[in-house]
Amino acid sequence: MIDVLAVASEYYPLVKTGGLADVTGALPAALKPHGITTRTLLPGYPKVMQHLSSRETLHDFADLFGGPARLLGSADLIVLDAPHLYGREGNPYLGPDGKDWPDNWRRFAALGLAAGEFGCGGIGHFKPRIVHAHDWQAALAPVYLRYWQGTAKSVLTIHNLAFQGQFPSKIFTDLRLPPSAFAIDGVEYYGAVGFLKGGLASADAITTVSPTYAAEIATPQFGMGLDGMIRARRAAVTGIVNGIDVDIWNPGTDTALPERYTAQWLTRRQANKQAIEQRFGLDRDDGPLFCVVSRLTWQKGMDILADTLDSLVAHGARLALLGSGEAWLEQAFAVAAQRHQGRIGVIAAYDENLSHLLQGGSDAILIPSRFEPCGLTQLYGLRYGCVPVVAQTGGLADTIIDANDAAISAGVASGLHFAPADAGALDHAIARAVALYREPGTWAQMQRMGMKMDVSWEKSAARYAALYRRLLG
């Protein structure tokens, strides 16, 4: 058995703003058959504290970045209970004004520091041999391990290089790191402190969530200023594509669907489609229904989609969009829904059940991301027979087989690719999808192909397990 401490700021179902939570929530169970026991260190947000049933106190900090704190353990979780840092309702990163909490550096330095304590063998009976940090919020964990000379090996997984955790240099003295850590091969980043940068410089292994994204982030176009660092550490970087929790995402048992189905019973999706039409105020017809389940941001290409809506409607398609995010995009979609009543329906919210319904009843899901480290919604789409129409980037390129003529005749097509991520290419892809939808045999073959694909964690968990073993020699 290998003990692993995963460190993350999100964990499904307790706290989720995106795919990170799905990954940290599902990976531990998938690693178990490989002899890996994972406990996940999470900030003690109110929702997490409420869920913690048995709570053994593992450690007390008299002062952790401005207040007392303790580490509470249950079988699967270790929670950093620090009310002065995490005792706030709502989004884990943003205050009620929609802006980052001004003390985010303290909140997530504390998380990394606590992980560092574990990795140095300092806490109770739990002595993980691997500390696996996820994204910038946990990225100081490898830094503490390195500068405090911990015994555990460290892995840092990049779920999105666009979020880096950069803070003014004046915070450095509070981090309890030796002065030598404020250096070009440490946390120093253009004169400031970079959490992700420090983690990339310090981790024993770096992973990201698809092979294509691993290659992309070594280039200036996708490297977000860190491509030089990624190139310097190329030998330590691997891309391991995400899986999904195939029990939570199972159209045969999903209680969020009015009608459950399998690949043999695709016609049952019709009842789900009708439920979507009702919920989103859409006309009922026999044309294709596209959906979107997304953060409404530039990264996700939601402005590109907004520019394509008139022609989507002109192609005879309809759109049900579930998303929340930037106000100007919410506004743009609301205006489009007004303009195209019955053809475009928008719900500006975050709604887990509704996201299941959209996958279970729409004909296709549109994902026009400018970059996409892995993406999960296309994997849910495959599993639910909701054909993914995706920009050809990152994990989207790695997980979807484009319906070109050769792939269709070989019976392996599972979705549609387009490039570049712009309105012209998206419009063309929508037109192709509408045409394919008019060939019911081909469309159903694509749906079945997607539903047959292995999108579970099985293969990728084996790759993480192999990586841990390699690190431990």
Residues that bind ligand ADP (CB under 6 A): 18-20, 22, 293-295, 322-324, 350-352, 355, 374-377
Nearest to 7 by CA among 114, 117, 196, 138: 138
Shorter beta-carbon distance to ligand ADP: residue 238 or 324: 324
Shortest distance in whole angstroms from residue 358 CB to ligand ADP = 9
Measured in whole angstroms, the distance separating CA 31 from the mean position of its chain's CA atoms is: 18
Shorter beta-carbon distance to ligand ADP: residue 258 or 287: 258
Shortest distance in whole angstroms from residue 249 CB to ligand ADP = 9
Q: Is the peptide bond before 33 cis (omega within 30 degrees of 0)?
A: no
Shortest distance in whole angstroms from residue 382 CB to ligand ADP = 13
Residue with structure tokens 């002899």? 35
Taking the C-alpha atoms of residue 73 and residue 70, their distance in angstroms, rounded to an integer, is: 10
Shorter beta-carbon distance to ligand ADP: residue 38 or 378: 378
Shortest distance in whole angstroms from residue 233 CB to ligand ADP = 23
For residue 326, give both structure tokens.
Answer: 């930037």
Shortest distance in whole angstroms from residue 359 CB to ligand ADP = 8
Cα three-residue angle 103-109-110, rounded to 5 degrees:
95
Looking at residue 3, the DSSP 8-state letter turns out to be: E
Instruction: Output the CA–CA distances (angstroms, integers) from residue 197 to 153, 307, 359, 382, 419, in the order listed.
Output: 18, 35, 36, 34, 30
Q: Using CB atoms, what's the residue nearest to ligand ADP?
A: 19
Shorter beta-carbon distance to ligand ADP: residue 137 or 202: 137
Please check whether residue 50 is in contact with residue 93, taking contact to mean a CB–CB distance below 8 angstroms. no
Shortest distance in whole angstroms from residue 355 CB to ligand ADP = 4
| φ, ψ for residue 159, nearest 5 deg | -95, -25
Shortest distance in whole angstroms from residue 133 CB to ligand ADP = 17
Shorter beta-carbon distance to ligand ADP: residue 55 or 295: 295
Q: How far apart are the first and last CA of the chain?
A: 14
Nearest to 35 by CA among 469, 470, 325: 469
Shorter beta-carbon distance to ligand ADP: residue 412 or 453: 453
Shorter beta-carbon distance to ligand ADP: residue 70 or 295: 295
Please list, in sequence order, all residues whose beta carbon lies within 8 angstroms of the beta carbon of residue 325, skipping any fewer than 6 positions away: 294, 295, 296, 297, 300, 302
Listing from the earlier edge strand, what are the strands of the sheet with 318-325?
344-347, 318-325, 289-296, 364-367, 387-391, 416-418
Shorter beta-carbon distance to ligand ADP: residue 14 or 20: 20
Shorter beta-carbon distance to ligand ADP: residue 322 or 425: 322
Shortest distance in whole angstroms from residue 187 CB to ligand ADP = 25
Please check whether residue 373 is in contact with residue 284, taking contact to mean a CB–CB distance below 8 angstroms. no
Nearest to 121 by CA among 152, 98, 167: 152
Shortest distance in whole angstroms from residue 423 CB to ligand ADP = 21
